Structure 1
């Protein structure tokens, strides 16, 4: 027997409030504020070493404990949030600049240009993303700058394919033909009208990719290819705290690992919601 949900008087169904999105958004706001106010909130300098407090548990002096060098984990996580949040933004800006340009060009020109861009993106897809990034780092050296550039190149084909798909649908709309009749050139139409009309969808897609880019950068730092000591990057903190697990100290790896997981999950929740809103609203 099929159960029909009860409808209140007036015939209007109750509105479901996206509490999960609000909670995830609140987490992100708190993380951003903590990163901005790190000099005021952190009880110690992120590189302050106190060997007498090595691997200390949660105490009044160290609310989240310390690592093997006696560095306060709360201070390092607060300062590390800056690198861990800014680097993915720079990565996505680079990837978007390349991907949106290629995707728009392929959709607008079509023909051999579209085929050429498609072959380039297919070749990029033939290599696993992490392998491509490691190859770039092997040539240009380790460091956060190299990691951001390498991952930006790795993310660009995905954004290019997405941009091409939405640009093809946008290009077929009547206003494009109207601008052509008015005598506007292709570059002016694309820059002044086509790409701005794609901005909502592209921004929504980039928000979804933010969590993946953060996790990818943290992975490179964990492997030793990204941020280097004495940086407080979260991925590097997990790698440095891994050795302490053998000694029974879980906090040096658990604290930054939890921060990464919380931010990635929160961005995924907010990103999916933002993509839905930006992609459907006109």
Structure 2
């Protein structure tokens, strides 16, 4: 029996991967995510210029053999700044979603498993956070603490914890009512072992989908805060800050606004398409339709 369980899990993973490969839209999202991530990681080696280097004689020029995507109002290469901006955005977003996932999943597991007063208090607090619009809550936290990277990460963690807690709690409630969990309780298995061995592995599917979609939302919120001047402080390249600075020169050149906007759109689109594909492939009811 113990050997059969790993084989069943391997078979399930293979089915999920096969379903993902058949989903062309999902594969497009995966390709976009991989390309953006690889270019962000390799930015120091593939960026044609220093993203902070200014050139007064090359201000607001269009795409050319020298500046492949044009230059901004200070003569800085837009492609280089966009690549380094991808590093900033993905690093902040991945850090935020990972921390929010760890906190939210822990809260959701405890609430869904133990229920009772603990569940009521925790979920009511999550409801309070849900009552605030995402960007407004992030703005309130960053404005109170100040525009620093640490405060930006803290603000976004506060914003994304409720989503993970709610998704995990719902899945944990369903798994906690399964016969094998009741059987484990009846033979004296500790609550911690039940949660980590039986409940958590069986709620990973919705958590994985939530993680992917939250990354897309985190990128949008981070760019929005950067656009409002409350994101990553300059001179660090940021897509939101690039959009804000390019707005003032839109009549002279559209490229300082188009380039960061295009990067944001493709990245968010990739994560959303990948998240939808993961949801379909991990749900047995939807997997048969693909």
Q: 1:38 aligns with which of 43, 57, 63?
A: 43
2:70 is equivalent to residue 70 of structure 1: no
2:266 is equivalent to residue 262 of structure 1: yes
Contact 1:84 1:234 (C-alpha < 8 Å) held by counterparts: yes
Q: 1:219 aligns with which of 196, 201, 224?
A: 224
Report what 2:276 is aligned to.
272
Q: CA deviation at 1:110?
A: 1.1
Deviations 1:49-80 (A, max 9, x none): 11111111111110101001100001111111
2:129 is equivalent to residue 101 of structure 1: no
**For 1:126 and 1:191, how far apart are their aligned partners in 2?**
31
Aligned length: 265
Structure possessing the higher relative contact order (Cα contacts under 8 Å, 6 or more residues apart): 2
2:137 is equivalent to residue 126 of structure 1: no
**For 2:24 and 2:131, how far apart are their aligned partners in 1?**
40
Report what 2:256 is aligned to.
252
For residue 259 of structure 1, give the secondary structure of its aligned residue in structure 2.
Answer: helix
Contact 1:94 1:149 (C-alpha < 8 Å) held by counterparts: no
Deviations 1:26-48 (A, max 9, x none): 22221112112112211111111
Describe the shift of the 1:17–1:101 C-alpha distance in structure 2 as closer, same or farther (beyond 3 A).
closer
Report what 1:7 is aligned to.
none
Report what 1:195 is aligned to.
200
Deviates more, 1:130-139 or 1:34-43: 130-139
2:32 is equivalent to residue 27 of structure 1: yes
Instruction: State the TM-score, normalized to the length of structure 2.
Output: 0.87
Q: CA deviation at 1:194?
A: 1.3
For residue 244 of structure 1, give the secondary structure of its aligned residue in structure 2.
Answer: coil
Q: CA deviation at 1:145?
A: 2.4
Q: CA deviation at 1:263?
A: 1.0
**For 1:29 and 1:91, how far apart are their aligned partners in 2?**
19
Deviates more, 1:18-27 or 1:106-115: 18-27
Contact 1:55 1:66 (C-alpha < 8 Å) held by counterparts: yes
Deviant stretches of 4+, over 3 Å: none
**For 2:264 and 2:134, how far apart are their aligned partners in 1?**
20
**For 2:23 and 2:162, how far apart are their aligned partners in 1?**
32
Instruction: State the TM-score, normalized to the length of structure 1.
Output: 0.89
Q: CA deviation at 1:17?
A: 4.9
Q: CA deviation at 1:234?
A: 1.0
Unaligned runs of 5+ in 2: 1-20
